A and B are shown apart, each in its own frame.
Chain A
C-alpha cells in the first residue's frame, strides 16, 4: 500500500456512464480517495452513505471525495441513485482493479479493492493513507484529522 510522501499515481476512470475523471485534473484540491470492496453493502453500515452525509465537512476543508471500486459505471450509477450519493464513484473496471493495484490495495483473492483511504494534497502527494479491515467501515475521523493537518501546514 502506498504511504505518505509518495506521489499519487495518476488515473483516468469513468465517474458517470459518459464522463471520465483524471486525478491530475483535480490538482489544487485535496482529494479523499476511498477504495471500497463493492457497491450494495447493507445501508446502515455503508461507508459511502456515511461519507455522503459528511460531504459538507469535507468541502469545508477544500477536499473532493472520490469513491472507487471495481464495479462498473452502470452499477455505480444505479447504486449512486439508490443511495442519493452526491459525489463521484469511479469504476476501476477495465483493466479490472488496475488503479487499486497501483495504490497497492487490490485483493487478488476476492477480485475486489481493499477498504482503504488516501488523502492526497493539492500537489498530488499522498499525505495520509489507511488500510481498514474489509468488514469494518473506517468512519471519517482519520480523514478529517489528515485534512486538518494539511490546513495547518499551509
Chain B
C-alpha cells in the first residue's frame, strides 16, 4: 500500500534539525527492537552526511507484546524530554539496548545527569504514556508496518536503514 504520513511534523515532535531543512525524515521506532538498534548507527551516519539539509524526527512505535521494555524505554526518553534532554536519552538507550530493564533505564538517566527526583516522578506521569500511544496511533494510521519504519517527505519508505542510506546518498554534502 502506498502509505502516506497522516500526522504532519510539528514543533511538538522530537526534531533533530530544522523544519526548513530540505529533507524531512521520520523514524517510527521501538527502543527494544534490534533492527532499530542497527538502524541507530546508520541514521547517525546519514545525519552526518546530510548535515543541515536533513531534519530527522523520531516517533515512538513500541511493540510491547514482543518487547516488554519498549514502553518503559519510550517513557524514559519522554521523561528526559521534559528536561530538554530527549536526544541524549534516546541515544544512550540505543547504545545500551542489550541492558534494557527498569533499573537499566534508571542508570542511563543517571549517566546523562538527569535531575533524578524529577525523572522518578515523571516516568509515572500518565501524560507521557498517552503521548507515546498517540505516536503509535498516528503511525498505525500512516501505514507503519514494522520497526523501524521511515517516511521521507511524508511518503512511506519501503526498506530498511541500509536501503534508506543508499537512497539518501544523492543528497550527501
* Contact yes or no, B1 A49, CB < 8 A: no
CA distance A144 to B34 in the complex (A): 28
Interface residues in A16-59 by Cβ distance below 8 A to B read 43-47, 49-50, 52-54, 57
A107 within 8 A of partner (CB): no
Closest CB in chain B relative to A68 CB, distance in Å:
19
* Contact yes or no, B63 A49, CB < 8 A: yes
* Contact yes or no, A138 B65, CB < 8 A: no
A83 within 8 A of partner (CB): yes
Name B3's closest neighbour in chain A (CB-CB).
A141
* Contact yes or no, B64 A53, CB < 8 A: yes
Chain B residues, Cβ within 8 Å of A141: 1, 3, 6, 140-143
Main secondary structure of the interface of B (DSSP, over half): loop
* Contact yes or no, A54 B146, CB < 8 A: no
B135 within 8 A of partner (CB): no
Name the interface size band of chain A: 20 to 34
CA distance A142 to B3 in the complex (A): 9
* Contact yes or no, B143 A84, CB < 8 A: no
A111 within 8 A of partner (CB): no
CA distance A84 to B142 in the complex (A): 25
Interface residues in B138-173 by Cβ distance below 8 A to A read 140-147, 158
Instruction: Knowing A44-B147, A130-B1, say if A84 contacts B66 (CB, 8 Å).
Output: yes
Instruction: Knowing A44-B35, A53-B63, A136-B158, say if A144 contacts B141 (CB, 8 Å).
Output: yes
Instruction: Knowing A130-B1, A142-B1, say if A136 contacts B140 (CB, 8 Å).
Output: no
* Contact yes or no, A52 B35, CB < 8 A: no
Chain A residues, Cβ within 8 Å of B33: 44
Give me the interface of B with A, judged by CB distance under 8 Å: 1, 3, 6, 33-35, 63-66, 136-137, 140-147, 158
Give me the interface of A with B, judged by CB distance under 8 Å: 43-47, 49-50, 52-54, 57, 83-86, 130, 132, 136-142, 144
Can you identify 22 A-B contacts, CB atoms within 8 angstroms?
Answer: A43-B66, A44-B33, A44-B146, A45-B145, A49-B65, A50-B146, A52-B65, A53-B64, A53-B136, A54-B140, A83-B66, A85-B65, A86-B65, A130-B1, A136-B145, A137-B146, A139-B143, A141-B3, A141-B140, A141-B143, A144-B140, A144-B141
